[in-house]
Amino acid sequence: MAGKHPDPDEHEEMESLVVASVLDALDRRQQAEVDAHLATCPRCRTLEASLRETAVEISAGLESAPPARLRVSVLDAVRAEAAASSPTEARMRPSRRAVIGSALALAASAVVATGVVLSRPGRSEEDQEIARVLTAGDARLYSTTWESAQVTVVHSASSAASVIEVRGLPPAPRGRDYQIWSMSPAGPEDAGLLRPDADGRARLRIGSHAAGGTAVSLEPAGGSEQPTTSPFIAVTYS
């Protein structure tokens, strides 16, 4: 679907799809097509936002207080998540970031001093793995663009890994996530979610034994086991 629909019939059709999307009345494939269109069409995004406010009114009057045990259970679960290591940079408090920063520095100096990684907390391990791919002797760089986004993939066969970096990627539409796929001979393998920060940037390591390429598709929030939409970014290793 293109980003423009000047034809009145086409506009009406698009309007129907946006309405059905707001009502969650599309199957997954149709929904993915609408999401891809919305990512490129400000006019339809405006329509969507306005209709989402209208949809709020459909369930006004159906209020039903959940049992008190649910409140306890939800707040416990949220407290537990907040206490555990924070899943996103954005939610990280400065103190935590400083701790991770010094752990990184410590791990890095351990590598320099002994050539052996003595301490590898989660995030520093990820950063080291990324550095290893980027500096591998056989690293090859591939780049492509999608709309305003610049996509760079560095693949190292000897590391059996790749690193994907995006810049200028708009946030995924509500209730959707970008999902990365490692294209192996057996088919696409889940390689994690791509969540751009406020500046549209993200960098992720992809384990890719025998992979022939990398792709990114738009999926329902949390990702899918197999792609449900056509990838909008695809890189084939040569």
Partner 1 sequence: MTPPPEDLASEDAKIPAPASPDALRDAILSVAAGDADSFAGLYDATSARVHGLVLRVLRDPAQAEEVTQEVYLEVFRRAAGFDPARGSALAWILTLAHRRAVDRVRSSQSQSDRDVAYESRANTQEPDPTGEAALATLEAQRVRTALEQLSERQAEAIRLAYLDGLTQTQVADRLGIPLGTAKTRLRDGLLALRRIVSAPRQRKEE
- Residues of the shown chain interacting with partner 1 in the complex, contacts defined by CB under 8 A: 12, 15-16, 19-20, 22-27, 49-75, 77-79, 81-82, 86-88, 90-93, 171, 174-175, 220-221
Nearest-angstrom CA–CA distance, 194 and 179: 6
Residue nearer to partner 1 on the CB measure, 22 or 133: 22
Tell the smallest beta-carbon distance from residue 65 to partner 1 (Å): 4
DSSP per-residue string spanning 66-96: PPHHHHHHHHHHHHHHHHSPPSSGGG--HHH
Nearest-angstrom CA–CA distance, 118 and 102: 14
Tell the smallest beta-carbon distance from residue 28 to partner 1 (Å): 9
Supply the DSSP symbol for 216: E
Report CA torsion sign: 75, 76, 77, 79: positive
Residue nearer to partner 1 on the CB measure, 51 or 104: 51
Contact 231, 181 (CB under 8 A): yes
Residue nearer to partner 1 on the CB measure, 2 or 65: 65
Tell the smallest beta-carbon distance from residue 5 to partner 1 (Å): 15
Residue nearer to partner 1 on the CB measure, 77 or 210: 77
Q: What is the distance, to the nearest Å, from the Cα of residue 191 to the centroid of all Cα atoms in its chain?
A: 10
Tell the smallest beta-carbon distance from residue 232 to partner 1 (Å): 19
Q: How far is CA 204 from CA 21, 166, 186, in A?
A: 30, 9, 22
In this structure, which amino acid lies at residue 174? Answer: R
Tell the smallest beta-carbon distance from residue 226 to partner 1 (Å): 16
Tell the smallest beta-carbon distance from residue 100 to partner 1 (Å): 15
Name, in order, each residue with C-beta under 8 angstroms of 171's C-beta and a sequence gap of 6 or more.
196, 200
Residue nearer to partner 1 on the CB measure, 22 or 154: 22
Tell the smallest beta-carbon distance from residue 225 to partner 1 (Å): 14
Residue nearer to partner 1 on the CB measure, 19 or 202: 19
Residue nearer to partner 1 on the CB measure, 14 or 153: 14
In this structure, which amino acid lies at residue 54? Answer: T
Nearest-angstrom CA–CA distance, 193 and 224: 10
